Homo-oligomer: A and B are copies of this chain.
């Protein structure tokens, strides 16, 4: 099994970007990653995307983007795993290199959502749930997460305001990230006064959609391009029931726990060795559940970790260090690539104001559906 290195990264700011097509956004991020790596064109292309068939009337992004970037006669496919698409694409890229099939791979996460009417996007997002058991009954993704959050609050005695620290931390960090969709800090009052989306989830619990693309250049050998060497030391993925009604305990992310445990074993480390954790805070409830499933606190204690300030970039377990899904934004099929790019930024020491001190291991965890398909990676500064 060959080793895998992240030799280049690229990203475009997440915005309502009506001037650039999906192809252009993805191309911009890709060229930045290719230039950053300095290894020329890659041998293979793995694109993570969810909404393009519905929101952009464009499939076949593998061939489209290879063509747009100007390299032909190479392998190029799209990987879809709902909001976990980009990290699933990254995992395929890792396997392509680990297998010896390719020496270099470009992974692009790309999504363009704001050109489409909002109901169309909500409907398209809901296709990540079970069409027969969930979608047909009118339940949206916010509603599914609201059900989980309400049950979690009931079981562990937390109140609405106890989820504020996740959002406050994300926005505090995002304020220093020029690529973040929202770059303002918020207060507990902002959080509590935000408009309700689906009780108990309000606008400050929920992450914003957006247009964006991030890319990573993987190689079988480390390169001398002026950056510290970053190795992919663990990759794992796990599924759970797709509909939450079939899940024995909807307040526990089994697939996140499984993925994290497999990754710790592959890397030969423990949770306390993780310097930075880019979790999937699509909703504040997912932030709490992710911290618990990945072993950073006991069950039901995620909000306490946040309340005690231990999730800050200069504290015990830095999360959402460049804004997370909440402030950096959540262009669904691209999000996993942003998470991984940000982990690389941290491990390289290029994260700016919210730079974590002396990072060694960074973990990214990307959730597809309401916890039904979760991909986890650990990167190491060699």
User: Which residues of A are at the interface with B, using a C-beta cutoff of 8 A?
Assistant: 1, 21, 23, 50, 53-54, 56-64, 66-67, 72-82, 88, 91-92, 95-96, 98-101, 123-124, 127-132, 135, 235-243, 246, 254-255, 258, 368-369, 372-373, 375
Contact = CB atoms under 8 A, between A and B. Distances in A.
Given A72-B241, A73-B255, A78-B81, A63 B99 contact: no
Contacts of A61: 80
Contact of A240 (B72, B75, B127): B72
Contacts of A96: 95, 99
Nearest to A262: B73
Contact of A131 (B56, B72, B74, B238): B56
A76 to B, nearest CB: 5
24 contacts: A23-B132, A53-B53, A53-B80, A53-B124, A57-B123, A59-B82, A60-B129, A60-B368, A62-B88, A63-B82, A63-B239, A63-B372, A66-B239, A67-B239, A72-B238, A72-B255, A73-B240, A74-B237, A77-B373, A92-B92, A96-B99, A98-B99, A98-B100, A99-B99
B135 A57 contact: yes
Given A131-B56, A239-B73, A373 B62 contact: yes
Contacts of A243: 67
Closest 4 CB pairs of A and B: A99-B99, A98-B99, A75-B237, A63-B373
B98 A81 contact: no
Contact of A99 (B1, B21, B246): B1
B21 A128 contact: no
B77 A372 contact: no
A255 B76 CA distance: 12
A83 to B, nearest CB: 9
Contacts of A59: 50, 80, 82, 127-128
Given A63-B368, A73-B238, A98-B101, 4 more contacts: A67-B240, A73-B258, A75-B239, A77-B81
B132 A21 contact: yes
B368 A238 contact: no
Nearest to A49: B80
Contacts of A368: 60, 62-63
B127 A76 contact: no
